[in-house]
Amino acid sequence: MEFVVFLIAGAIVVGGAIGVLAFANPVHAALSLVATLFGVAVLFVAQNAQFLAAVQVIVYAGAIVVLFLFVIMLLGVDRSDDLRVEPIVGQRPLALLAGVGVLAASLVAVLSAGGSTATRTVRSTAVAIPTEEPDVTSLGRLLFTDHVLALEITAILLTVAVVGAVVLARRPGRDEPSVEADVEAEA
């Protein structure tokens, strides 16, 4: 049963990822990305990470993909990427070579390690043995004790990112120095 869930979710994940690459229209690619993110959320639930699955759906599918769609809308949907044109000679074959090379390296690493150690024979404990505490409780306890400094730094990072995004994206008023004017002056 677990393996069937994994197979279906994995197929959705990989199919959606291939869709992100294959669709020329950015909107279709973004919707394909949603499929991938939902598949990953299903995998999280299957591994007893319910809170993370909820966060995945809310943050990724709810916020990030909407941001993508918003920017695509702002830039115009008709600017689709023509997948047949290659401005740099050999870019796509080299990219394919890099992708397949990384895949081969990681597969060799996983399979050779799996052959010798316990990864192939020992079952994941989270699914087999239900923990005494719910998932969210232990996660929150860890976040606010052991990893509290990282949590604070992440908060600062998010604040900086929001301020930076607003500064970059807003149109400057008259008589204000703008980032664009600086770039144009140098160009």
The two counts, helices (H) then strands (E), for the chain are: 9, 0
Nearer CB in complex with another protein: 176/184: 184
Residue 57 is given by DSSP the state I
Q: Residue 64 CB, nearest distance to another protein (Å)?
A: 5
Nearer CB in complex with another protein: 79/175: 79
Find the angle CA(140)-CA(143)-CA(148) to the nearest 5 degrees: 140
Contacts of 38 by beta carbon, 8 Å cutoff, 6+ apart = 12, 57, 61
Q: Residue 177 CB, nearest distance to another protein (Å)?
A: 15
Q: Residue 97 CB, nearest distance to another protein (Å)?
A: 9
Contact 47, 23 (CB under 8 A): no
Q: Residue 173 CB, nearest distance to another protein (Å)?
A: 15
Nearer CB in complex with another protein: 3/176: 3
CA nearest neighbour of 50 among 144, 138, 123, 150:
138
